[in-house]
Amino acid sequence: MKFYKLHIVLVLLVALGCDVLEQSPQTSIDETTAIRDQKSAEAALNGLYDQLQSGNYYGDNIQIISDVSSDISQSIGTWDFYREMDTYVTVPGNLEVRNLWGQIYSAVNHANNLIADVPGIEATQAVKDQILGEAYFIRALAYFDLSRTFAGIPGVTGTMGVPIVTEPSRGITDASFPTRPSIQASYDQVLADLQLAEGLLTGLPSKNRASEASVKALYSRVYLYLGNDALAEQYATEVIDNYGLTLEQNYASIFVDENSSGSIFELAYNTTDGNGIRNWYFPSAEGGRGDIALHQPFALDVIGRADDERGDLIALDPNIAGAYYPTKFGKSGGDDNIPILRLSEMFLNRAEARANAATTPAERLAALDDLNEVRNRADLADTAGVGVDTNDEILAAIAHERSIEFMMEGHRFYDLVRTGKALTILVGLERLNGPNETLTNAGRQIFPIPSREIDANINLDSSSQNEAYR
Amino acid sequence: MKNRYKLNEAILSHRKGSGLARPICFLAILMSFFIVSSTTAQTTITGKVTIEADGSPLVGANILEKGTTNGTNADVDGNYEIRVSGPGATLIFSYIGFTPQEIVVQDQSVINVTLEENTTELEGFVVVGYGLQSKKTVTGSIATVDASEMQNIPTAGTDQLLQGRAAGVQVSSDSGTPGGGVFVKIRGASSISGGSDPLYIVDGVPIETGSFGLGLGGATTSAIADLDPSDIENIQILKDASATSIYGARAANGVVIITTKRGSNSKPTVRFSSYYGVDRAINEPDLVTGPEYEMLRNEAAANNGQAQIYADPSSATDTDWASTVFRNGSVRNYDMDISGGNDIVRYAVSGSNFKQEGVLNPETFERNSGRINLDVDVSDKVKFGTSTTFSNSKRNRARNNDNITGVLGGVYFLPSNLPVYQPDGSYTKFSIFENPVAAANEIDFNMDVNRFIGNVFGEYVFKPGLNFKSSWSIDYTQVKEDQYDNTFTNNGSAVNGRATSYAAINSSWISENTLSYVFNVGENNFNTLVGTSIQETTFESTRADGEQFPSNDFTRITDAAVQTSSSSGTSNGIASFFGRVQYDYAGKYLASFSVRRDGSSKFGDENQWGTFPAASVGWVISEEEFFDVETVSNLKLKASYGLTGNQSGIGNFQAKGLWSGASYTDSPGTTPLQLGNPNLKWETTKQLDIGFELGLLDERLQITYDYYHKKTEDLLLAVPVPESTGYSELVQNFGELENKGMELAISADVIQKQDLNWNIQFNISGNRNKILKLAAPFNVYNRDIYRYEEGMPMYSFYFHEQTGVDPATGAPIFTDVDGNGTFDPNVDRKIVGDANPDFFGGIRSNLNYKNFDFSMFFQYSYGNEQLNWNRFFQEHGGTRNTNFLSTQLDRWQNPGDVTMVPKLTAANYAGNLRPSRFVEDGSYLRLKTLNIGYNIPQSFISKLGTGVSSVRVYMTGQNLLTFTNYTGTDPETTATASTSLTRGIEFYTVPQSKSIVGGINISF
């Protein structure tokens, strides 16, 4: 009898034992059910913006990489990954390079999930179009950022593109090890996604989300990179004319008040979901990390333009002589919105496209008109007459205006590279904690493919690395 | 009479020993077979078993008819009755702690027996998984640490106390933070990204050992510090597969079995002990003075062709930042316990208070703990017992170790030419670094841990030798942490004060049932066991953050203007079946076989269950008739082979492809979290062990030697995948790792005299760790300073090999690894060393002379590289505006200078250089403890007439001397303990303390 009872106990114990093997995650869901209806698809779309928000991407990293590699900012702190960029000795193991690469591809994979799954969910076509349109736009933006950072600019620098992945990753298969296509194929992917997004989105319902306006604005920028002045101008004009946008007259208000009248697409942040860009620039006295400062000549140039209200957004670290920092993004909770596309860029894009193509004084004036729209907004007088007569002079004035207008917004290095000016302008840059630096190696106008990626991808080898980093 | 039956007899009844034996239920048809086949008896024998010393009845004594399974136990009066097969039968009378007797039945019907107490016999047993085993018949590799060696030492954690005391067990403290994490590896690290910590079993309960609480850079806390070392009776460390595989899927890293003190059948004994002492860091950071700082900065500027930064370095402010926060700490302990019992109930109850004020302001650890162990014999057949511990640990923490914005970060980074305070009385601020005084005084950081480990067991003795045991246990940990950074700190000033409040509960329940059956057939002795085990662990946490406080008077989040909060939870479960047969023939030929089958919720449906068998054999040559060497008292050869598993170190749901929450401003969202791998399964370690035990001169000289070879397959490895997939890694069973080595332990009773005893113990271990297979090499930690590569050991340092500094120019000379004629920082990196010691161990000397006792314990590690990563940041050659270590003063200055520290130029200290000069020899020899004690003579105590039975007073010194060439503060520490992938790196790590305490032990 005892043993009979014992066996019952045993059976109970075994039953109990099997039970403990059935555990479910409490804070996550299975990937197969992540996008299954309208609600979950919309949640996944929100998550896609969260990918852009990451500190490894638009949260601060891409802006710092561009500015610190240019004549705008310098690395004065302990974070030597930015110092490597600042002094043009970036190695393929550079952590921030890898962070940017990985985060952009994370956004790409996220978009791929939406693009693959949303057509199959139960929802109206309008809902699906909106979600898919935003996903295509973000994928276009992601491939654009990958291409200009790691592949180069067609005709200026770089020959190899970035690996193109358009299917969601649900496991490791042969398709998980893509090769590098041509640089043209990379930009073709950007244009293809923009085209799909253009057909799916309408209007400008929210400045914090991708819209038809942001598609066209990005089109304008991409065509400028590709040297297609006509389309760059055409798309800039469409944005300027069609969405009720006006330049915010108070420059500081763009950043302080957010979602201003000239905003096309800006990432929204709040205090519980903040970004780190302020922390990198602001000195310790202001509760920041103080790792990045403006190059002194740049800061003095902006401050020295007495009427330029943009100079008001530069301050001096009281504790470190010569350490100027921008105060554009100054909210202590890190809740500044991050602008990605603004109307002033459309004017400057169109000015540049027009100046590039100008053959008559009238066409040059049209370019100057657009430039002056932006200057006037900054309380500056028109640029006209002496010193801005030739196309090159006008282009130089536009480039100068762009550097000031988009300080800390991550445009400068890419602008210098795409216009072929990097090797002539990035010369003898004064630095606070070391000798002057010069970009001498043309191959360093693009960044290295992270060494980890080449290690992990069996279809990449040292010949897949950008030439300057082999 | 030979003692070869000790094992069986001891386990036949564990009345006194039930605290040691922790068997449980069972299953087994095998068992019922033996039960059914029990013999029929014909003659009835009665009698009484008494204790020789005082003639009192020996309750529960075992009476067994030799060669059969027929047996009984003495009742509360010591009386017994047994039916035997007839004249000629042999009865064996035994009890744990007593010398057994065999009596041949003639024609008498009454046999009265007195058993003699034999204290050495108790020591002849070792605790093994789910039971006890005679040391003589053990075939596994098991190290025993006598807890009395570890008591009265001013250290919080039992894991720290194991350092140097057992061969094959490598222990190092992550830092000098009291109650901080401890690195324990048994026979090397047998996993790369899975955990390599051993399984800890306290009184049969597998306990949680992780670091609970909020992450602080690399700082960790030790859950073992929740246990009071003075509660511990002994510790067994199971090392080879035959000893560990009964714990199956969690045994690959070895098992540490901790047994706490239990009551005995005696009158109440009260013991009180206390010590108090002071401690100080063994070393403090050696930084330049203010004038030296300015001089070096100027020199760098001049070398870079820039203007002088400081006009007059000689008049610079000079602040010794280290002295602002390092302090004389203190350590104290009070312990009280009472134990005793009678035939029915035995008890051991204790309480203690331990407090250590760390050497670095404000780190403090305090533990209050209590324990109740009870054993109740309801009848000869039914027994109950409990082992219960409650403890409360309070920590005052600081953000040190791998954290540049903590107290030590400030000490190292803030230039020595800055004053602590500004003229207006405010703290001097500098970049992102906290002023160390502010970091120590203006940040509240309290961690409060309540821990309950409880175990209740019931036991039913069907007949002598056949026991069913059911055990229910819980390990419950409640953690609460509160942080507040006020506005005097960088962290707090940006947001008008910043607070975090965190509460977490980790709860684990375990049900184990075993059926054990001990019997012999002639000279064939069997000890068999079957059992089941079920465990479920849940973890829940809640966290709230607040910013924007009205003033520093408000520190609770309810007063903050900006508040955020979150909660989270996770769980896992394990179900297991296991069985074991231990066999010996006449104590000469030994064999054992065990198998465990484990299922885990962590793994994919494809591979949820794993089977882990092990077998061993042994030959006690000294028991052979032909072996007749007078001086050799024991010679045993043994070998074992088996499989064990590991599932730690991976997420609870690593097998699944998952999405998690990710909001965009105020809109809820989701985002991909991880790639799934439904084929995920256990890591399997195959271990071969060959060894011998040699006892000479009546065991006065004992030598134990083991050779082992461990190969871990199917490593749970986060294999890097192309990030173009959107993921950076996939946890796969990929890769192989090897650990092989030798262990030698020697114990010698050099002098054994009435008034003078001298014992020396020595152990040395060497382990060679090698990665056999990886998907692809990978680098870890920032700046890729560790590399994992086939053919190399774990914890390998990956640097630019610096061979010197050009005496002509002062430029560093680096090895051109690819031999293309130029040194290129992009490609010319190599592995320059690793953090694994070639040899490590300890030497202990115990001397007793009359009432004095004197002991000395050295612990050593040889051949391990230690990365002084502080030097990377504080030997910056003027490329930063932060402080310098004094090693910077050795820089090249003039042609002909021979040094490893280059000329101060930006190029020589470029941001992309990782010079190997920071990888230093971390070998050390340390006087771990030095102790002198005096037992007040009995003649004096008895005059007191206060009921005091013994008094001992002592002085103990800890870490008094360290011999090393390492230039940092402590060659033992690891700053990055929060990841298992890195080891041997000092990076703003709190050095250990040296302490001197005086104490007293009183028994009543």
| B387-420 confidence digits (pLDDT tens) | 999 999 998 888 888 888 889 999 999 999 999 9
What is the ipTM, given to two decimal places? Answer: 0.92
**CB of B233 closer than 8 Å to CB of B635:** no
Write down the pLDDT at residue B28: 31
Predicted confidence (pLDDT) at residue B806 exceeds the cutoff of 90? yes
Name the residue type at position B218.
Answer: G
The residue-averaged pLDDT of B711-740 equals 90
Per mean pLDDT, which range of A158-162, B517-521, B747-751 is the poorest? B517-521
Task: Report CB contact under 8 Å: B575, A20.
Answer: yes
The residue-averaged pLDDT of B43-70 equals 79
Task: Report CB contact under 8 Å: A92, B665.
Answer: no
| B845-902 confidence digits (pLDDT tens) | 999 998 899 999 999 999 999 999 999 999 999 988 899 999 999 999 999 999 999 9
Probe site for chain A from B426, B429, B671 (most A CB atoms < 10 A):
B671
Q: How confident is the model at residue B837 (pLDDT cuts 50, 70, 90)?
A: very high
Q: How confident is the model at residue B219 (pLDDT cuts 50, 70, 90)?
A: low
In whole numbers, what is the pLDDT of chain B averaged over residues? 86
Question: Strand B199-202 and strand B255-260: pairing?
Answer: parallel
Write down the pLDDT at residue B925: 96
Distance from CA of A285 to the nearest CA of B (A): 7
Count Cβ neighbours within 10 Å for each residue of B938-951 and write b for 16 or more, e otherwise. eeebeeeeeeeeeb
**CB of A240 closer than 8 Å to CB of A287:** no
Task: Report CB contact under 8 Å: A171, B657.
Answer: yes
| B131-162 confidence digits (pLDDT tens) | 888 778 888 888 888 777 777 788 778 888 88
Predicted confidence (pLDDT) at residue B265 exceeds the cutoff of 90? no
Write down the pLDDT at residue B801: 96
- 3-class secondary structure for B710-764? EEEECCEEEEECCHHHCCCEEEEECCEEEEEEEEEEEEEEEEECCCEEEEEEEEE
The token pair at B839 is 């040899």
Q: How far apart are CA B253 and CA B188, in angstroms?
A: 8
Give, to the nearest 10 degrees, the angle between helix A212-225 and helix A183-200: 160
Distance from CA of A49 to the nearest CA of B (A): 6
Write down the pLDDT at residue A10: 54
Q: Is the sign of the CA dihedral B790, B792, B797, B802 positive or negative?
A: negative
Nearest to B669 among A43, A285, A434 (CB): A43
Q: Which residue of B has its CA nearest to A75?
A: B880
Write down the pLDDT at residue A13: 55
Model's pTM, two decimal places?
Answer: 0.82
Closest C-alpha among B571, B568, B396, B478 to residue B223 = B478
Predicted confidence (pLDDT) at residue B33 exceeds the cutoff of 50? no
- Residue A224: DSSP 8-state: H
Instruction: Tell me, yes or no, if A441 comes closer than 8 A to chain B by beta carbon.
Output: no
Q: How far apart are CA B95 and CA B97, in angstroms?
A: 6
Write down the pLDDT at residue B10: 39
Angstrom distances, CA of residue B932 to CA of A182, A263, B233, B529: 77, 78, 22, 45
Write down the pLDDT at residue B431: 80
The token pair at B187 is 């026979």
Distance from CA of A273 to the nearest CA of B (A): 6
Predicted confidence (pLDDT) at residue B18 exceeds the cutoff of 50? no
Q: Which residues contact B970 (CB under 8 A, 6 or more apart)?
A: B176, B282, B283, B962, B986, B989, B991, B992
Task: Report CB contact under 8 Å: B568, A108.
Answer: no
Q: How far apart are CA B998 and CA B992, in angstroms?
A: 19
Predicted confidence (pLDDT) at residue B29 exceeds the cutoff of 70? no
| Chain B residues closer than 8 Å to A57 by CB | none
DSSP states along B334-401: EEEEEEEE-SSEEEEEEEEEEEEE-SBTT-EEEEEEEEEEEEEESSSSEEEEEEEEEEEEEEE----S
Q: How far apart are CA B444 and CA A35, in angstroms?
A: 44
Q: Which residue of A has its CA nearest to B669?
A: A43
Q: How far apart are CA B904 and CA B803, in angstroms?
A: 18
Count Cβ neighbours within 10 Å for each residue of B859-877 and write b for 16 or more, e otherwise. bbbbebbbbbbbbbbbbbb
The token pair at B337 is 């316990």
- 3-class secondary structure for B977-994? CCCCCCCCEECCCCCCEE
Instruction: Tell me, yes or no, if A122 comes closer than 8 A to chain B by beta carbon.
Output: no
Nearest to B601 among A21, A165, A289 (CB): A21
Residue A279 is inside which H or E element, if any?
Answer: helix A277-281
Nearest to A21 among B575, B728, B881 (CB): B575
Nearest to A13 among B532, B659, B776 (CB): B532
Residue bearing tokens 């069997």: B526
Q: How far apart are CA B620 and CA B625, in angstroms?
A: 11
Instruction: Tell me, yes or no, if B432 comes closer than 8 A to chain A by beta carbon.
Output: yes
Instruction: Tell me, yes or no, if A324 comes closer than 8 A to chain B by beta carbon.
Output: no
Q: How far apart are CA B530 and CA B26, in angstroms?
A: 4
Instruction: Tell me, yes or no, if B673 comes closer than 8 A to chain A by beta carbon.
Output: yes
- According to DSSP, the residues that pair with B694 across neighbouring strands are B635, B703
DSSP states along B811-872: -EEE--TT-SSS--TTT--EEEEES--SEEEEEEEEEEETTEEEEEEEEEEES-EEEEHHHH
The long-range contacts involving B774-779, CB below 8 angstroms and separated by at least 24 positions, are: B774/B717, B774/B734, B774/B735, B775/B717, B775/B719, B775/B720, B775/B732, B775/B734, B775/B735, B776/A455, B776/A456, B776/B719, B776/B720, B777/A455, B778/A452, B778/A455, B778/A456, B778/B720, B779/A93, B779/A452
| B639-667 confidence digits (pLDDT tens) | 999 999 888 778 888 888 889 888 888 88
Probe site for chain B from A7, A14, A28, A99 (most B CB atoms < 10 A):
A28
The token pair at B146 is 């006598």
**CB of B747 closer than 8 Å to CB of B791:** no
Predicted confidence (pLDDT) at residue B21 exceeds the cutoff of 50? no
The long-range contacts involving B305-308, CB below 8 angstroms and separated by at least 24 positions, are: B305/A435, B306/A435
Instruction: Tell me, yes or no, if B109 comes closer than 8 A to chain A by beta carbon.
Output: no
Write down the pLDDT at residue B227: 84
Distance from CA of B777 to the nearest CA of A (A): 7
Probe site for chain A from B461, B725, B734 (most A CB atoms < 10 A):
B725
| B919-938 confidence digits (pLDDT tens) | 999 999 999 999 999 998 88
Q: How confident is the model at residue B79 (pLDDT cuts 50, 70, 90)?
A: confident
Q: Which residue of A has its CA nearest to B782?
A: A95
Digits of tens for pLDDT over chain A (470 positions)?
A: 444 555 555 555 555 555 788 888 888 888 888 999 999 999 999 999 999 999 999 999 999 999 999 999 999 988 889 999 999 999 998 999 999 999 999 999 999 999 999 999 999 999 999 999 999 999 999 999 999 999 999 999 999 999 999 999 998 899 999 999 999 999 999 999 999 999 999 999 999 999 999 999 999 999 999 999 999 999 999 999 999 999 998 999 999 998 999 999 999 998 778 888 998 999 877 878 889 999 999 999 999 887 888 999 999 988 788 899 999 999 877 889 999 999 999 999 999 999 999 999 899 999 999 999 998 888 888 876 567 788 999 999 999 999 999 999 999 999 999 999 999 999 999 988 888 999 999 999 999 999 999 989 999 998 999 999 98
Q: Which residues contact B421 (CB under 8 A, 6 or more apart)?
A: B427, B428
Task: Report CB contact under 8 Å: B777, A455.
Answer: yes
Most distant pair of Cα atoms in chain A: their distance: 111
Q: How far apart are CA B675 and CA B679, in angstroms?
A: 12
Distance from CA of A283 to the nearest CA of B (A): 6
Write down the pLDDT at residue B666: 82
Task: Report CB contact under 8 Å: B536, A288.
Answer: no
Higher pLDDT, B203 or A62: A62
**CB of B917 closer than 8 Å to CB of B891:** no
**CB of B708 closer than 8 Å to CB of B653:** no
Count Cβ neighbours within 10 Å for each residue of B465-491 and write b for 16 or more, e otherwise. bbbbbbbbbebbbbbbbbbbbbbbbbb
Write down the pLDDT at residue A14: 53
CA atoms within 13 A on the CB side of A392: 2
